[in-house]
Amino acid sequence: MGILGLRAKPPRVSKGFKYLSDDGRVMVVIVDVRGGEYYEAFRKAFKVLGGLRKLISSGDKVVIKPNVGFTHSDAVTNPILVRDFARYIMDEVPNANIIIAESAVAGNDTSYCFESTGYMDALGNLDVKIVDLKRLSGTVKVRTDSRLIPYINVYELVYDADVLISMPMLKRHIEATVTISLKNMMGAIPDSEKRKFHLIGLSRCIALLNKVLNPDLAVIDATRIMAKSGPGHGEIIELNKIIISSDLVAADLIAAKMLFEAEGVERPLEKALNVKHIRLAYKLDIGTLDLSRIKIINIEV
Amino acid sequence: MSMTRKFLRPPGAISEEEFLRKCIKCGKCVEACEKYGSGCLELLSIFKGLRYWRTPTFNPFKAPCEILGKCSVRQYCIEACPTGALVKRHSYKLGKVIWNPNKCIKVRGGECLVCIEVCPMNAIRFANKVLQVRDSICRGCGKCVHACPGRALTLIPC
């Protein structure tokens, strides 16, 4: 029974809430954080979006999934940014149960990654749980509609979240071209599943995984980005931006465009539209790539 | 003439001949690795030869060695060794990576290069369908070997 995936669970039920503008377009907020005041940046961004309380209600289990796949701090989401976001959520929704969960790249020790990249120092004093998924969470089988991979093993903690937030660092990726909020969800599956993804076809599996997990929000750390090559080693560029949207595909498109612009690539938008897993995610109706349906709002702190 | 290494050894292992003489097969390094490290060490079975029986070996398929990560400050396996068969050094090299193009998913047209992603030393390059592991930089920690979904990489003693 189990092998055939008959006991598999349905996709994660998300709140289904999207931050839309008055004319029904998907909002993507780009915040300039040159001064380094991230808390203020989140406050302003969510004021423009319409408030965090629309997404997170009191008592919710909020799982923030940063990218802490590596042992050096150049390749992970800025811990200060994660801390300030957690603090902002706590102040807005006092009863929220915040969990920061990650399973590092295959073969890396997640607990050590959290320690060596400064997460323990930054978040240690805060009332949040930092979870090494590889050690502390069981897995559940979740059904997909695809015949390619009938079910995906996902960490239970992520599956059970009321609100799932993808908080990646904007990076180049050697296999998937870019690694942003969609690719970041690879950290919610065990190493054995990651291996399977590479065997079957990474881009399609990333799209299917996001269909199954339905993340509610993308908060992309573009304070410093990794260009030219990645995800472990690359050229670090200070961009001082944060991108926030409840539409992961639109957020990834805008972020990818920004990355290619910073690299000096010709026709960055076209290149961003051609990223395979973003296009496949759009085809699976996870979000929109239609630029007429995306409203980009630039704000400064 | 010194004996060539037949099996991968824990970090800091002295020359094979000396190692076999000094190792008392207590298994303390393996216990320390299980407890504090990644659990990449194991004891060789009797079928590998009586001489090698119960001597420790590094198995990258079980887990990669954390010599460049968690264990970079303290090498618990070496500290556990009572006879000095494992000694602390300035830097460690555990083995040499061998690539099999017939099993490589990237060469066969798939979307992979997980080896480059996980390499902590950035020692791997891929160009013109050839994977190059730069031996001067590679420390043989086995992260790429462990992560490779096609099992195209193997670690051999050096």
Could you tell me the residue ranges of all domains in chain A? Answer: 26-300
- Tell me which chain A residue has its CA closest to the CA of residue B123: A233
* Whether the model pTM is above 0.90: yes
Residues A107, B149: C-beta atoms closer than 8 Å? no
Q: Please name the member of B69, B112, B114 whose beta carbon is closest to the beta carbon of A71.
A: B69
Amino acid at A213: L
Q: What is the pLDDT of residues A39-80, one digit of tens each?
A: 999 999 999 999 999 999 999 999 999 999 999 999 999 999
Q: Any idea which fold B96-156 has?
A: Alpha-Beta Plaits (3.30.70)
- Tell me which chain A residue has its CA closest to the CA of residue B70: A112
- Tell me which chain B residue has its CA closest to the CA of residue A105: B118
* CATH superfamily entry for domain A26-300: LarA, N-terminal domain (3.40.50.11440)
Question: Percent of chain A beyond pLDDT 70?
Answer: 98
Contact between A176 and A203 (Cβ < 8 Å): yes
Total H helices, total E strands in chain B: 5, 6
pLDDT, chain A, mean: 94
The whole-number pLDDT of residue A41 equals: 96
Query: Nearest C-alpha of chain A: how many angstroms from B49?
Result: 30
**CB contact B20 to A (< 8 Å):** no
pLDDT at A1 > cutoff 50: no
The domain limits of chain B are 16-80, 96-156
- Tell me which chain B residue has its CA closest to the CA of residue A179: B117
The whole-number pLDDT of residue B125 equals: 95
The whole-number pLDDT of residue A6 equals: 64
3-state secondary structure chain A: CCCCCCCCECCCCCCCCCCECCCCCEEEEEEECCCCCHHHHHHHHHHHHCCHHHCCCCCCEEEEEECCCCCCHHHCCCHHHHHHHHHHHHHHCCCCEEEEEECCCCCCCHHHHHHHCCHHHHHCCCCCEEEEHHHHCCEEEEECCCCCCCEEEEEHHHHCCCEEEEECEEEEECCCEEECHHHHHHHHCCHHHHHHHHHHCHHHHHHHHHHHHCCCEEEEEEEEEEECCCCCCCEEEEEEEEEEECCHHHHHHHHHHHHHHHHCCCCHHHHHHCCHHHHHHHHCCCCCCCHHHEEEEEEEC
Q: Please name the member of A106, A201, A233 whose beta carbon is closest to the beta carbon of B114.
A: A106
**CB contact B49 to A (< 8 Å):** no
Predicted-assembly ipTM surpassing the 0.95 threshold: no
Contact between A98 and A79 (Cβ < 8 Å): no
Residues B112, A202: C-beta atoms closer than 8 Å? yes
Band (pLDDT 50/70/90 cuts) for residue A7 is confident
Residues B146, A71: C-beta atoms closer than 8 Å? no
Q: What is the pLDDT of residues B48-82, one digit of tens each?
A: 999 999 999 999 999 999 999 999 999 999 999 99
Which residues of chain B, if any, have pLDDT below 50?
none
